[in-house]
Amino acid sequence: MRKLPPLGSLRAFEAAARRLSFREAAAELGVTPTAISHQVRILEEICGRPLFRRRPRPLALTDAGERLFPVIRNGFDTFASVVTAVSAKTIRTTLRVTSPNAFASRWLVPRLPRWRKLYPQIRLEIIGTDAVLNLRAGDADLAIRYARTMPTDLVAREIFRDSFFPVCSPALLGEGVPAITRAADLLHYPLIHYDWLNGDREPPSWSRWLAVARSVDPDIPAATEHWDLSFREEIHAIDAVAAGQGIAICSDVVVSHEIESGALVKAHDLALPGYGFYVVHVPDHPRQASIEAFAAWMRSVA
Amino acid sequence: MRKLPPLGSLRAFEAAARRLSFREAAAELGVTPTAISHQVRILEEICGRPLFRRRPRPLALTDAGERLFPVIRNGFDTFASVVTAVSAKTIRTTLRVTSPNAFASRWLVPRLPRWRKLYPQIRLEIIGTDAVLNLRAGDADLAIRYARTMPTDLVAREIFRDSFFPVCSPALLGEGVPAITRAADLLHYPLIHYDWLNGDREPPSWSRWLAVARSVDPDIPAATEHWDLSFREEIHAIDAVAAGQGIAICSDVVVSHEIESGALVKAHDLALPGYGFYVVHVPDHPRQASIEAFAAWMRSVA
DNA sequence: TCGCTGGATGAATTGGATTCATCTAGACTG
DNA sequence: CAGTCTAGATGAATCCAATTCATCCAGCGA
């Protein structure tokens, strides 16, 4: 039989661990710090080891506390969101989908008419943001995560993977400008750079692409760290590329619509390996069927 | 700010929903049924709707209760298991793997020496059972689930899929017996049948295989519902096949070792589509790296 | 060195959970 | 179809676990 720990002590522990302060946790729960102290001690006695390292200050979690904390926090997030959902007067009908900004505006939104045609009864709400929403807290029903490997914190399925190519407007390659026959020729054009904030140690940037290209075309000078245009946001970089301002290393998935329509062209065929697009949701989501329809649809329109 | 429901009422609700009886829930929690009644009412008032349908009896969950219950149960299972894990004196070193019986004995165990060679530092404990263990309760670290589609209650990744062929011992096809050149010839041999208890409406059985075969070889009589040998367990059926007692419809994955060694042969090339093998684990498992190594290893030795 | 902040500790207190006593609906029985 | 029994509802009374109070202590900063 399952041996459930005292739930009050879990709640006190979670608040204290989240704020790393008994005083603040007490304020949050509307009790005195003493109450937190007592409850945490109870849990520590059950676990047979300290969960907080109290000094030297500041307050910190022990290894045991570190293992406990994410699980308890997720559990409470889940409890809160499911009770809120069940309490809601109206049953939500739209499926809330969140994805990185560039993917939402360049891939998802242009294809939404096709979705509406196939599934008019399932309305979508697209939340394009590069922040990671908390699905367990009910911020969205489904997230499209963009990562090298499968996320393991939620239920995930890989839809497709992308590759990165130098991409530009066909207008940029008009008459009177040098043709691109080999990688080194790209350097005659303005190179458009944008930031990768995902913590990847080897993001698919110009410096990486040129390094790979150098291995087949030694004429490319090493350490070309000068970018003609630099953006914070991938989405703005793509806008600049579409406007014919230069060449950028872009995901073939994100610009697939523009490639197909001829609005953008690949400037060179050398590709960098990219990331996976994962449809992610909480376990046992109540609208499983809609989520599976969406994942299957994404694969089908890839 | 997250609005956490009263945890005591969640506990009472979970026990009552699991046993579908206030009286039994009370006994489990060591309180009187009145206590359960009061706590459940509190939760129902928070949700603004009944969670149980009390009459006509027997007690049943309402739709709202049905949505709440799996989430709360999973949460408590998770709490109990993580606290137990943190409380454990010794840190567990073996990775506990559970899989269906036949797969464990026919596929996994014969390949374990290869695992030990590659990962001597990660010890495996194999739990072969056709029961579905509760990973959230900590019954095992990792399960190999066998299903048509990806499980969505936990983190899952598909490793490979199988197909079903008629398989027999090469000794069965010796001299003095009719050769097998077409599907109908199989009927001259003892057909070995075993039960599919997974609830699949179209399990890969002899009747299904013969139905498909009939579409290419009309000589096969319809409704051949006579099996020469019938087993409850796939694993016993395979033993009988290996002993040369007849032909069975077997998963090419489960008998791959015997096929490769020549101990068993395919009696016919017509295949039925099979199931996926999924490596499944709880979200945010503390030994993620070992689990990923195991999944990658399974793929590599497929 | 002296406050000051934040947490620990043990006794006292209190309020939310539990029980008790009673009531009711529905099921089963002969 | 009464008679009986089971399972849960309800409201007042009770009680114990959670909280507070009062006090103490360690570390940090001025």
- CA of A229 vs chain B CAs: smallest distance (Å): 40
CA of A3 to C1' of C26 (A): 35
Q: Which of B85, B86, B126, B82 is nearest to B107 (CA)?
A: B126
Would you say the C-alpha torsion B244, B249, B255, B261 has a positive or negative sign? positive
Per-residue tokens: A36: 């937190």
Per-residue tokens: B163: 């197909």
- If you average pLDDT over every residue of chain A, what do you get? 90
CA-based end-to-end distance of chain A = 48
Question: How sure is the predictor about B223, in pLDDT bands with cuts at 50, 70 and 90?
Answer: low
Per-residue tokens: A187: 């350097």
Third-level CATH fold of A162-273? D-Maltodextrin-Binding Protein; domain 2 (3.40.190)
Least confident window among A216-220, A241-245, B175-179, B251-255: B175-179
Give the separation between CA B240 and CA B250, rounded to whole angstroms: 12
Q: What is the CATH number of domain A95-159+277-300?
A: 3.40.190.10
Model ipTM?
0.75
For residue B171, count other CB atoms closer than 10 A to its CB. Answer: 11
Residues in B touching A67 (Cβ below 8 Å): 82, 85-86, 286
Give the pLDDT confidence score for residue B125 in this predicted structure. Answer: 94
Same topology between domain A95-159+277-300 and domain A162-273: yes
Give the pLDDT confidence score for residue B33 in this predicted structure. Answer: 94
Residues in A touching B280 (Cβ below 8 Å): none
CA of B197 to C1' of C28 (A): 36
A39 touches strand D (CB under 7 A): yes
Give the pLDDT confidence score for residue B153 in this predicted structure. Answer: 87
Question: How sure is the predictor about B1, in pLDDT bands with cuts at 50, 70 and 90?
Answer: low
The verdict on a CB contact (< 8 Å) between A48 and B8 is no
- Determine contact, residues A228/A187, Cβ cutoff 8 Å: no
Domain ranges of chain B: 7-87, 95-161+277-300, 162-273
Please return the burial class of B237, using the count of CB atoms within 10 Å of its CB with bins 0-12, 13-18 and 19+: buried
Give the pLDDT confidence score for residue A123 in this predicted structure. Answer: 93
A88 vs B265, more confident = B265
Distance of CA B204 to the CA centre of its chain: 16
What is the assigned CATH class of domain A7-87?
mainly alpha
- Determine contact, residues A255/A168, Cβ cutoff 8 Å: no
- CA of B253 vs chain A CAs: smallest distance (Å): 23
Domain made up of B95-161+277-300: CATH architecture: 3-Layer(aba) Sandwich (3.40)
- CA of B38 vs chain A CAs: smallest distance (Å): 18
Give the separation between CA B58 and CA B113, rounded to whole angstroms: 53
- Nearest-Cα residue of chain A relative to residue B69: A82
Give the pLDDT confidence score for residue B225 in this predicted structure. Answer: 61
- Nearest-Cα residue of chain A relative to residue B89: A48
